[in-house]
Amino acid sequence: MEKDFKLMVAPLQGLTETAWRSVHFRLFGEKQGDVEYFTPFIRAENGEVRARDLRDFTSELNHGMMLTPQIIFRDVDEWKLLVDTLAEAGAKRIDMNMGCPFPPQVRKGRGAGLLRSPDKLSKIADAMSQYIDIQFSVKMRLGVDDAGEALHLIDILNAMPLRHVAMHPRTAKQQYKGNLLLSDMKDFSSRLQHPVIFNGEITTLSDIESLSSDYTGVMVGRGLLARPSLFAEYRSGQELAIKKQEVAFLNMMRNVSTALEKILCGNTQFRDKMKPYWEYAPASLDKKIIKQGRKLGKIID
């Protein structure tokens, strides 16, 4: 195990907001101390930062965890609005989304759409010098349709003062499926002067181990929903038996459902919010338990 290897929890809209994050931190992150969490993207709407998004960053339930807010923006004006608001709310680090593949966002030039706007990115790179108290990072993809697109941005990215770039080595067109484009990823990383964090399809300890010599860290999303103990296992060097991994998943679900029941109104809202977590249940888990989870949102013991 590499001692300084960074472990990051990927932002997942609708899933890794305050309720899931704070439970995960309490059960699996706190003792590790060095796990970094990211909010799902925070956006501007009608010239203002969405209050709900902002609360996800400022909630007192985040207390103690290393939490970095992520922003999605289409140009330097939207970027400034978001950065100023978050700086005022106490952010010392801000992550910039340049990878969201959702077509309405891409069409408007946000997320992966920015990969095709070097002029807008250059303006943002210039504006960064006015925010010396904030450390920026980028989360991105290799391109929109073509894995070579990110290469055209290398000089602009190298000119930005970035903590790291987290790369999901797919194009936006691939969404969240299909082959990881590993040779394009290597090519990109070798030209980038910033530390590179690998993100995509990491589900086991050996996945993490195999990346630890080539990258500065890993960022894990769906793999942690299914196996919330993954980082704790990696840090302790002890792989949990499958049954214990299942217990860890169920323990997460119990605590997340308790947290959400307190804040959501009514059964339908609760079930709709919980259902997606059950889609990521470990494949080994008893099918009856998964069925009950999907139907009720929680397990009735």
Ligand X SMILES: Cc1cc2nc3c(=O)[nH]c(=O)nc-3n(C[C@H](O)[C@H](O)[C@H](O)COP(=O)(O)O)c2cc1C
Chain contacts with ligand X (rule: CB under 6 A): 10-15, 40-41, 70, 97, 99-100, 139, 168, 176, 199-202, 220-223
CB of 55 to ligand X, least distance (A): 15
Q: Give the residue with the Cβ less far from ligand X, 55 or 243.
A: 55
Q: Token digits for 222? A: 């769906």
Q: Token digits for 65? A: 């965890």
Q: Give the residue with the Cβ less far from ligand X, 126 or 272.
A: 272
Q: Give the residue with the Cβ less far from ligand X, 199 or 245.
A: 199
CB of 165 to ligand X, least distance (A): 12
Q: Give the residue with the Cβ less far from ligand X, 200 or 297.
A: 200
Distances, alpha carbon 59 to alpha carbons 13, 54, 277, 295, in Å: 17, 9, 22, 29
Q: What contacts 260, CB < 8 A, 6 or more positions away?
A: 19, 270, 273, 274
Q: What contacts 209, CB < 8 A, 6 or more positions away?
A: 1, 234
CB of 93 to ligand X, least distance (A): 14
**What b/e sequence results for 169-200 when a residue is b if at least 16 CB atoms lie within 10 Å of its CB, and e otherwise?**
bbbbbbeeeeeebeebbebbbeebebbbbbbb
Give the long-range contacts of residues 73-77, CB within 8 A, separation 24 or more. 73/43, 73/44, 73/97, 73/110, 74/108, 74/109, 74/110, 74/113, 74/114, 74/120, 75/109, 75/117, 75/120, 75/123, 76/120, 76/123, 76/124, 76/127
CB of 175 to ligand X, least distance (A): 9
CB of 142 to ligand X, least distance (A): 12
Q: Give the residue with the Cβ less far from ligand X, 11 or 129.
A: 11
Which residue minimizes CB distance to ligand X?
Answer: 221
CB of 221 to ligand X, least distance (A): 3
Q: Give the residue with the Cβ less far from ligand X, 182 or 243.
A: 182
